Amino acid sequence: MSRPRVLIVGAGFAGYRTARVLSRLVRGRADITLLNPTDHFLYLPLLPQVAVGILEPRRVAVPLRGTLPHVRLVLGEARPDGIDPDARTVRYTGPEGDSGTLVYDRLVLAVGSVNKLLPVPGVAEHAHGFRGLPEALYLRDHVTRQIELGAVSEDPRGRTARRTFVVVGAGYTGTEVAAQGKLFTDALVRGRTLGDGAPPRWLLLDTAPRVLPELDERLSRTADRVLRRRGVDVRTETSVEEATSDGVRLTDGEFVETRTLVWCAGVRPDPLVEGIGQPLERGRLLVDPYLRVPGRPDVFACGDAAAVPDLEKPGHYTPMTAQHAWRQGRIAARNVAASLGIGERRAYRHRELGFTVDLGGVEAVADPLGVHLPGPVAAAVTRGYHLAALPANRVRVAADWLLDAVLPRQAVQLGLVRSGSVPLDTASPESARVVGGPGAAVAPAAVSAEPGA
């Protein structure tokens, strides 16, 4: 008899963990295939550290082949109209435009989320997102370039604009980008003669009344204090009304001249899950506590793309965090195995273990198990947590941290990623996540382009 085929779509926190745990549970009694656009699992929480040059990009890319030896990897993206639950097939497009069809007996959808585009004039054209390695590498190059160009510019306004960086969204991503970005640019200008001598300026905007609005208020207060002490201009209850190639108009009426607008405000579930015609909850695929899609006993979903009932908070769904996605992956693996007659199924139930936000230097905020830790202790706990959570590359990550602590940060532009490769609309098919080579398209007009350079 042939072995059952399990297809996992998406190798992020949820899909990677499903593949890893499932391969241990079934021990060769099922064929596991993982469909993902890249050959690695991207450890997103450390991405801000790539953008500011602390970590080399490969450190946050966990190799799939090396760490999932019993899983077959297919490079590609499931097509939006490609999932046929009746025929039990998934059609996909490969990295070079080729296509294929995968047949399954059990399907796990773990495609995560994409940037949420808000209808703010100019933002889609002039802002860039922060969701992947190309974005982080682009930002690192772009910021370095702005500092270089600003240093030699004859025009005082242009000089100030190049040294002004605007981050929208004070969730954990935006807060880390602004906090660590400020330290990065301060290090870049240290020891230079800088025209009018004004230090780089970072603005962090959010419509919420406090930074880190989704976390405990004590974490917010500490993060706010660290940001302001560092010189970040924190503007709560403020956002962008319009973006142009010269800068951004804020909702309070002020026009800020800048060449850099980083959009970290809001994500939404990957629209792929809309294509299978099952009930959704705010764009997430509704599942039962066993992570099964109702009425489709052979289809499971987990992570950001799934609306998983929060058994600790009846009537709610688990939030879109790495912590939940990672733990749901384990339960999805158990329940897929149980559906194949291996082991017992289990409902997803998980208490928050707390949050960690790395603000760079020796500052972080963390509340492991509800214990509020500020400052260097939080920084040590945060880094320890990431080292423990990373499935690979731990020694390399620790080595980068050590080098960063004792050596000046390397500030060179690699020029590998063009602004056209880091669109804000990560959900559209045109926004293929490519790293531009010499012939790569350049965005027609982006705040991040260099007018008058």
Ligand X SMILES: Cc1cc2nc3c(=O)[nH]c(=O)nc-3n(C[C@H](O)[C@H](O)[C@H](O)COP(=O)(O)OP(=O)(O)OC[C@H]3O[C@@H](n4cnc5c(N)ncnc54)[C@H](O)[C@@H]3O)c2cc1C
> Which residue's structure tokens are 């100030």?
160
Out of 141, 206, 304, 367, the only residue in the binding site for ligand X (CB under 6 A) is 304
> Please, which residue, 151 or 389, has the CB nearer to ligand X?
389
| Chain position whose Cβ is nearest to ligand X | 12
Structural contact between residues 100 and 294, judged by C-beta atoms closer than 8 angstroms: no
Out of 20, 126, 131, 330, the only residue in the binding site for ligand X (CB under 6 A) is 131
Which residues, in sequence order, are bridge partners of residue 284? Answer: 281
How far is residue 65's CA from residue 240's CA, in Å, rounded to a whole number? 42
Out of 6, 47, 170, 365, the only residue in the binding site for ligand X (CB under 6 A) is 47
Out of 6, 11, 26, 276, the only residue in the binding site for ligand X (CB under 6 A) is 11
Structural tokens at position 156: 């005082």
Which of these ranges, 6-14, 138-146, 195-203, 416-424, lies near ligand X under the rule CB under 6 A? 6-14
Beta carbon of residue 32, minimum distance to ligand X (angstroms, whole number): 15
> Please, which residue, 205 or 357, has the CB nearer to ligand X?
357
The answer to whether 18 contacts ligand X (rule: CB under 6 A) is no
Structural tokens at position 212: 């880190």
CA angle 30, 36, 39 (to 5 degrees): 100
Which of these ranges, 8-16, 210-218, 389-397, 418-426, lies near ligand X under the rule CB under 6 A? 8-16
Name the nearest CA neighbour of 67 among 339, 289, 392, 384: 392
Beta carbon of residue 353, minimum distance to ligand X (angstroms, whole number): 10
The answer to whether 179 contacts ligand X (rule: CB under 6 A) is no
SS3 content of the chain, % helix, strand, coil (to 5): 35, 25, 40
> Please, which residue, 183 or 307, has the CB nearer to ligand X?
307
Which of these ranges, 37-45, 65-73, 309-317, 392-400, lies near ligand X under the rule CB under 6 A? 37-45
> Please, which residue, 44 or 161, has the CB nearer to ligand X?
44
Q: How many helices (H) and strands (E) does the chain have?
A: 11, 26
> Please, which residue, 195 or 283, has the CB nearer to ligand X?
283
User: Can you say how many angstroms the Cα of residue 55 is from the centroid of all Cα atoms in its chain?
Assistant: 15
Structural contact between residues 447 and 126, judged by C-beta atoms closer than 8 angstroms: yes
> Please, which residue, 210 or 249, has the CB nearer to ligand X?
210
> Please, which residue, 256 or 332, has the CB nearer to ligand X?
332
The answer to whether 200 contacts ligand X (rule: CB under 6 A) is no
> Please, which residue, 342 or 401, has the CB nearer to ligand X?
401
What are the E-state strand segments in 149-206?
Answer: 164-168, 201-206
Out of 6, 50, 71, 112, the only residue in the binding site for ligand X (CB under 6 A) is 112
CB-side neighbour CA atoms (13 Å) of 33? 19
> Please, which residue, 9 or 417, has the CB nearer to ligand X?
9
Which residues, in sequence order, are bridge partners of residue 262? Answer: 128, 167
Output DSSP code: residue 337: H
Out of 104, 172, 300, 348, the only residue in the binding site for ligand X (CB under 6 A) is 172
The answer to whether 303 contacts ligand X (rule: CB under 6 A) is yes
How far is residue 174's CA from residue 235's CA, in Å, rounded to a whole number? 13
Structural contact between residues 424 and 130, judged by C-beta atoms closer than 8 angstroms: no
The answer to whether 215 contacts ligand X (rule: CB under 6 A) is no
- Taking residue 328's Cβ as centre, other Cβ atoms within 10 Å add up to 27
How far is residue 174's CA from residue 48's CA, in Å, rounded to a whole number? 9
How far is residue 102's CA from residue 214's CA, in Å, rounded to a whole number? 39
The answer to whether 323 contacts ligand X (rule: CB under 6 A) is yes
The answer to whether 37 contacts ligand X (rule: CB under 6 A) is yes
The answer to whether 44 contacts ligand X (rule: CB under 6 A) is yes
Query: Which residues from 246-285 bind ligand X, rule CB under 6 A?
Result: 270, 272
Query: Which residues from 50-109 bind ligand X, rule CB under 6 A?
Result: 77-78
How far is residue 70's CA from residue 413's CA, in Å, rounded to a whole number? 38
The answer to whether 378 contacts ligand X (rule: CB under 6 A) is no
Dihedral sign (CA 283, 425, 131, 239): negative
Out of 12, 134, 200, 423, the only residue in the binding site for ligand X (CB under 6 A) is 12
Which residues are near ligand X by CB under 6 A?
A: 9-15, 35-37, 44-45, 47, 77-78, 110-113, 130-131, 172-173, 270, 272, 303-305, 320-323, 325
